[in-house]
């Protein structure tokens, strides 16, 4: 399918406007790329609840777990550059990780949320990187690795970061800047420089309303002692949305949920993945590595979300039994959403990349209709 800019604009612009007029959006942006080129870039609304600062083309915003896709790409790039297969054991590169029956966990299992390390028994601060890593090293898997999968909401980024440090010798946030952000001129940071703060939209917590599906998961999310609650509160800290607006917190390189950038930067990055790993005259990924991004490694009922989910090597995909597709119509599509409504994905077959970002969160941790209606419209256009 080939998208035509004026036709796509005709379809998407009214829907994007409706997000503000009917669905309570405050500020947002959407970016669609195809064949390595931008097709649509829309933005509107405000960066603040007082509606004093308009959302502009250079506005940045927190994208929550959409950062996990960026982090996963960095790990895959490190593995590619060091000729490391996904079936290798994580402990080969991180010896201390072998404690507590984790010696046989493979990189594939770790990247596809099968390691059983979604929650920590120790109470450690999310901003104390070294303490979190020690806790992960000592943590016993919560299920036999490889037998099931469950979303590693907070621990995932630390697992990725430590692998990059062990293999490449530097933090993942630095690796991202050196190998992707600067070469591709991407307006996206994991650990925001102080001078960029004036451009960032304020993030606002979801307003009270009807809890989304699955009801049991969202009930468990606020119930002490449940796996869902432990997963989303360990390592502990930064559970108040307002804390994420603190410039000192924005500066922290939190790979699980701390990425800050623009819709166009996210879409451009995914566009590179859609175009054979190439962009701006440079080649970033081999065909073999790109296969890892779209090959499903885990699929079925997620132990944390309590609904079907699927993952490739670090990226989320539509589960085989899903009731609502969130990554486009094809099984080869993949990406990663963020809490409250941010979303990014790639369709490698049609070479389409999509990103949606916003600052008024919804209750759902997975994409909602504000972005999904736009995705549906893209494919109706063809």
Sign of CA dihedral 189, 193, 197, 198: negative
> pTM score, two decimals?
0.95
Give exposure, 142-171, as e/b (b: 16+ Cβ within 10 Å).
bbebbebbbbbbbbbbbbbbbbbbbbbeeb
Query: Per residue in 284-332, pLDDT tens?
Result: 999 999 999 999 999 999 999 999 999 999 999 999 988 889 998 888 9
pLDDT of residue 382: 66
Quick one: DSSP state of residue 242? G
Tokens, residue 345: 């994905």
Asked if residue 219 lies in contact with residue 210, where contact means CB atoms within 8 angstroms, the answer is no
For the segment 74-112, what is each residue's pLDDT rounded down to a tens digit? 999 999 999 999 999 999 999 999 999 999 999 999 999
- Sorted by where each starts, the structural domains of the chain and their CATH numbers stand as 5-381 (3.40.710.10)
Mean pLDDT across 363-374 = 88
Digit-coded pLDDT (tens) for 118-157: 999 999 999 999 999 999 999 999 999 999 999 999 999 9
Residue 348 pLDDT grade (very low, low, confident, very high; cuts 50, 70, 90): very high
């Amino acid at each position: 399918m080939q998208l035509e800019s004026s036709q796509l604009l005709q379809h998407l612009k009214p829907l994007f406007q409706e997000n503000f007029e009917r669905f309570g959006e405050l500020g947002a942006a959407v970016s669609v790329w195809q064949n390595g080129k931008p097709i649509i870039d829309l933005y509107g609304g405000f960066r603040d609840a007082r509606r004093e600062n308009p959302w502009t083309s250079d506005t940045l915003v927190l994208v929550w777990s959409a950062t996990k896709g960026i982090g996963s790409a960095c790990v895959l790039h490190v593995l590619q550059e060091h000729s490391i297969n996904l079936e290798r054991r994580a402990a080969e590169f991180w010896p201390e990780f072998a404690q507590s029956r984790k010696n046989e966990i493979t990189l594939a299992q770790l990247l596809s949320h099968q390691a059983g390390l979604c929650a920590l028994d120790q109470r450690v601060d999310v901003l104390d990187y070294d303490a979190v890593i020690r806790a992960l090293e000592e943590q016993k898997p919560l299920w036999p690795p490889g037998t099931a999968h469950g979303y590693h909401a907070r621990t995932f980024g630390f697992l990725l970061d430590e692998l990059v440090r062990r293999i490449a010798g530097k933090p993942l946030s630095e690796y991202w800047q050196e190998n992707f952000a600067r070469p591709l001129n991407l307006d996206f940071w994991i650990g925001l420089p102080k001078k960029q703060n004036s451009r960032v939209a304020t993030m606002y917590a979801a307003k009270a309303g009807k809890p989304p599906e699955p009801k049991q998961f969202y009930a468990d999310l606020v119930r002490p002692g449940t796996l869902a609650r432990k997963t989303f509160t360990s390592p502990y800290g930064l559970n108040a949305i307002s804390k994420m607006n603190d410039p000192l917190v924005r500066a922290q390189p939190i790979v699980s949920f701390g990425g800050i950038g623009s819709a166009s930067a996210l879409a451009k990055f995914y566009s590179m993945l859609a175009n054979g790993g190439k962009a701006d005259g440079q080649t970033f990924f081999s065909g073999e590595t790109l296969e890892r991004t779209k090959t499903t490694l885990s699929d079925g009922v997620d132990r944390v979300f309590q609904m079907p989910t699927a993952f490739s090597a670090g990226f989320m995909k539509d589960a085989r039994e899903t009731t609502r597709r969130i990554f486009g119509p094809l099984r080869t599509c993949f990406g990663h959403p963020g809490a409250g409504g941010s979303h990014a994905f790639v369709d490698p077959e049609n070479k389409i990349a999509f990103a949606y970002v916003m600052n008024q969160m919804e209750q759902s941790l997975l994409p909602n209709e504000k972005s999904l209606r736009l995705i549906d419209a893209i494919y109706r256009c063809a």
